[in-house]
Amino acid sequence: MNPELSPWRLSVAPMMDWTDRHCRVFHRLVTRHTRLYTEMVTTGALLHGDVARHLDFDPVEHPLALQLGGSEPAELAACARLAERWGYDEVNLNCGCPSERVQRGAFGACLMAEPVLVADCVKAMRDAVSLPVTVKHRIGIDRGEHYDFVRDFVGTLAERGGCEVFIVHARNAWLKGLSPKENREVPPLRHEFVYRLKRDFPQLTIVLNGGVTSDAQIEQHLQQVDGVMVGREAYHHPWTMAGWDARFFGDTAAAPERDAVERAMVEYLGRIAAAGVPWTHASRHMLGLWNGTPGARHWRQVWSDHRLKNEAPATVWRLAHERAALA
């Protein structure tokens, strides 16, 4: 990778119930350089739960960021220290999730209404660790559509908290009346707000998130900002990531072959099954691998067949390709 490129040039968004450690291993088989993020982990889960269950990851996942949910500076600092001890490359604070459950915990998108508190959280984490501490947020909350709001939020976090990297979902978060899914679709996209942040804060790293569905769009956004984060498009159509290393990172090594990625994933499924982890926990993340190719639907049907869950992954792999070939 070209060392002059931003470490945040291209990344896959943190997505609850999706970007677990198995998903990230699969994504890393497709792209070597794209930055990966964990699901959001709350400070309470880390400070009072099974730390290893939440933080363990495979070394192949680097570069890897831990996303935290919380609003107490001391608790976030303690969790940041855990992230550093576990070997993560970044700690990211969630200020963008609009779910009511997250709001009840007093974190997520509702924190955008308290920029001084968020700045204090960032400063506490930055003082605790040497890792980059970043913030993922929306451009606004509820129906307010004024650029000044997100400009002042970013300015406060940069000046008071020392934050240098902002990942901006280019939609408002409506805290009442919309589900998390609707919050990803109903509030209008305003990419220009993110572009303006980069113009107003040229010294900061500004990463755009929201509504990115093609390589052409990534290229367009990279002309205006430092990086692009892709979410559901990367998950549902993972093979779109296969060309990213060459196109966006200047990697001249050969791109992976789809067959080779699948074989490597089947080997991984066999390893986790031998360790007592149901392989179906991981296989669900690769169901989009062959999207758009002949027989893909039949291939997915075999991998999704719960009646095969006690079979060896290699057996299911053979059955899937036999079924696809007959389609």
Place of tokens 């009072």: 48
Confidence label for 106 from pLDDT (cuts 50, 70 and 90): low
* Crossing angle for the helix pair 258-274 and 313-326, to the nearest 10 degrees: 150
What does the pLDDT look like over 71-84, one tens digit per residue? 999 999 999 999 99
Angle ∠(233,250,252) on CA atoms, nearest 5: 105
**Structure confidence at residue 32 (pLDDT):** 97
**Structure confidence at residue 1 (pLDDT):** 62
Question: Which tokens sit at 240?
Answer: 């779109």
What does the pLDDT look like over 181-222, one tens digit per residue? 787 778 889 999 999 999 999 999 999 999 999 999 999 999
The mean of the pLDDT values for the chain is: 94
38/207 Cα distance (integer angstroms): 17
- The residues annotated as belonging to the active site are 97
CB atoms within 10 A of CB 237: 16
HSE-CB of 295 using CA atoms within 13 angstroms: 12
Enter the CATH code of domain 258-326.
1.20.120
**Where does the chain have alpha helices with state H?**
21-30, 43-48, 51-55, 73-86, 100-104, 115-128, 147-161, 180-183, 191-200, 215-222, 232-236, 244-249, 258-274, 280-283, 296-303, 313-326
Given its phi and psi angles, is residue 263 left (phi above 0), alpha (psi -120 to 50 degrees) or beta? Answer: alpha
Q: Which residue has the higher pLDDT, 22 or 105?
A: 22
282/285 Cα distance (integer angstroms): 6
Mean pLDDT of the 105-113 span: 82
Kindly list the domain boundaries of the chain, sorted by start residue: 10-249, 258-326
**Structure confidence at residue 136 (pLDDT):** 98
Q: Is 47 exposed, middle or buried (0-12, 13-18, 19+ CB in 10 A)?
A: middle
Confidence label for 278 from pLDDT (cuts 50, 70 and 90): very high
75 closest CA partner among 62, 87, 91, 64: 91
Mean pLDDT of the 278-288 span: 98
State yes or no: pLDDT of 103 exceeds 70: no
Query: Which amino acid would we find at residue 292?
Result: G
CATH of 10-249, one of 3.20.20.210, 2.40.110.20, 3.40.50.970, 3.20.20.70: 3.20.20.70
13 closest CA partner among 221, 167, 192: 167
